[in-house]
Structure formats: structure tokens, C-alpha cells
Amino acid sequence: MICEEIIMSHKKDASGLRNSVDSGDSKHVQTKIMSDIMRDDVETIKDPVNGYTNSQEFRGSITLFDAIPHQDSLDKLCAAKAIETDGRNVRLDLGKCIMCGRCQQAAPDIFLIGSIFETPVKVRQDLIRLSGKLDSQGQKPYEQMGKELKEKTSKILRRSLAIREVDAGSCNGCEVEITALNNAIYDIERFGVHFVASPRHADVLLVTGPASRNMEIALRRTFEAMPDPRIVVAVGACACSGGIFGDTYATTGGIDKVLPVDIYVPGCPPTPQAILYGLLLAVDRIEASKING
């Protein structure tokens, strides 16, 4: 996630680099690649902290229109197998969707990709969409959600929220967004959220990746080492369902095939706002489990 000022400073740098390449200095071939990247920058959000309107280029959600599919092969174009159709109705699994945009290109009368993030849910079934657009209740500015999280955490836990993060075979895209939570812009620690090294100190297990079979035992052991109530948050399409990796000889097909998942955060990858919203739901789960024993 890149703020406007950073983009602007990169643009200035990029134009300088471009000049040196154009002047024939072969030492700077590598910098030409960089300048090309800078020229095609995608600004994902204008004001990450106080706004929630992402750039139009950012793909975060899908609206499904009630149009009759004009192609029998609509489901075959989705590499993540997120689309199912019987020729009349379309069923979209947002837990699998990697927001590639191919469905919108092929059938713009049915699919519309939007730039706001899909709302995390407590029940996997709630990520299945038959029609309509997303529930926008989670679309609050990051700062506002962070303050809500801080209040809830101090009321329910009477201390900070401790998170253990496990990468169970992700491409690292989700980790980049999780890491962003700790950068100077998002700075999640000011809301009383800490990433901890040991599962014995953790309230929440944040997991990314499709749960590769090589990580299955490590994941179970991490969960077993946590004190109750241990809340599991699956971050990203891979963690929700296996995503683009699916269910193969090397992957289990989602974290809930290995552990009981409490919160599903869709997206590929989900934004820091979406992950923060998932943590808000996680604190609700902690409260519910304290009440129910």
C-alpha cells in the first residue's frame, strides 16, 4: 500500500532515471526497468489512514448482476474455480476469487470488479455470492476501525491483543499487507496490537497460504501451543480456500482443512483495512467464547 507522497517522490526519481537511460548510459539498464515500473504505478489508496476509497485500479470486490450467462464455459475461465454456473444462474465463491478480472472482461453484464475490499466473515458460507454486491459495513476508515479495536480489546482482554502469524505456503503477497500493518503509516501497535514470536503468548493465530502439506504439522503444533481462547484468522483467498493453489498433492485446500477457522478474510491479497476488520471480528469471537466459557 503506497501513499500519494511516496508515489510522487518516486515519480520524480523515475523521471531522473529515464533521462539517464535516454542519454545512452548502458549502466542504467536496470534503472530503466525501475522507471518503467514507476511510470505504470498503481496507487492503491489515496489516504490509507483516514480514507477508505481505493484507487480505481485496485481490485477488491465483485458485484454480481442477475444476467443470464451467455457463455456455457463461464466457469472454465476462472483459474481459481470461483465461478459455478448451471447455464442460468451464477454462483461466485469469494473465498476462492483471486481478483484477476477475467470474468469481468468476458462477461461485463454479469461481473463488475470494484475497488473496495470484500468484508471479512465469520462463516465460510457467507463468502458465497449468488447475486448483488458486497455488504459495505466494513468500509470505514482505518483510523476509525483501529480505535474501535483498541476500545474493544481493552474492554474484553484488559490488555493488548497478541498475534502469532504463520505463513502456511503463501506467495508472500498477504505477508506484504500484514507487514504494512506495522509500518509507519498503519502502525497497528498504537491500537494495542502486537505481533509475538511465541504461540504461547498469542490470542490470535493469523494464517496465510493454502496450508501446504509441508506446513500442516507446524500449523497444528502452533495452534496447540496457544492458550484458550485461540482464535484462527485465515487471511487471503489461499487461506480461505486454497485459492489459486487449490487442493493438490502439495496443498490441503485452505486452513479450515487443518484447523478450526473463526474468521475468513477474502482478497488476493486483502488490504490492511480488511485485515484490521478481520481482527475486529476476532475480538468479538474472544468475547463470545469468554461468555460461553
Between strands 128-129 and 231-235, the pairing is: unpaired
Site for ligand SF4 (CB under 6 A): how many residues?
26
Alpha helices for the chain (secondary structure H): 4-22, 29-39, 102-106, 142-156, 173-180, 216-225, 237-241, 272-292
230-269: which residues touch ligand SF4 (CB under 6 A)?
Answer: 236-238, 243-244, 268-269
Residue nearer to ligand SF4 on the CB measure, 153 or 212: 212
Q: Which H/E stretch holds residue 166?
A: strand 161-167
Taking CB under 6 A as the criterion, the residue among 161, 163, 166, 171 binding ligand SF4 is: 171
In the bound state with ligand SF4, the residue whose beta carbon lies nearer, of 48 and 243, is 243
CA distance 41 to 36: 9
Contact pick of 80, 193, 233, 261 for ligand SF4 (by CB under 6 A): 80
Q: Which is nearer to ligand SF4, 17 or 82 (CB)?
A: 82
Residue type, 197: A
Which one, of 78, 84, 72, 6, lies nearest residue 42 by Cα? 6
Q: Compute the distance between CA of residue 94 and CA of residue 236 in angstroms, rounded to an integer.
A: 10
Pick out residues in 89-118 that bind ligand SF4 (CB under 6 A). Answer: 92, 97-103
Which residues within the stretch 181-210 sit at the binding site for ligand SF4 (CB under 6 A)? Answer: 208-209
Which residues of the chain form contacts with ligand SF4 (CB under 6 A)? 77-78, 80, 82-83, 92, 97-103, 170-171, 173-174, 208-209, 236-238, 243-244, 268-269
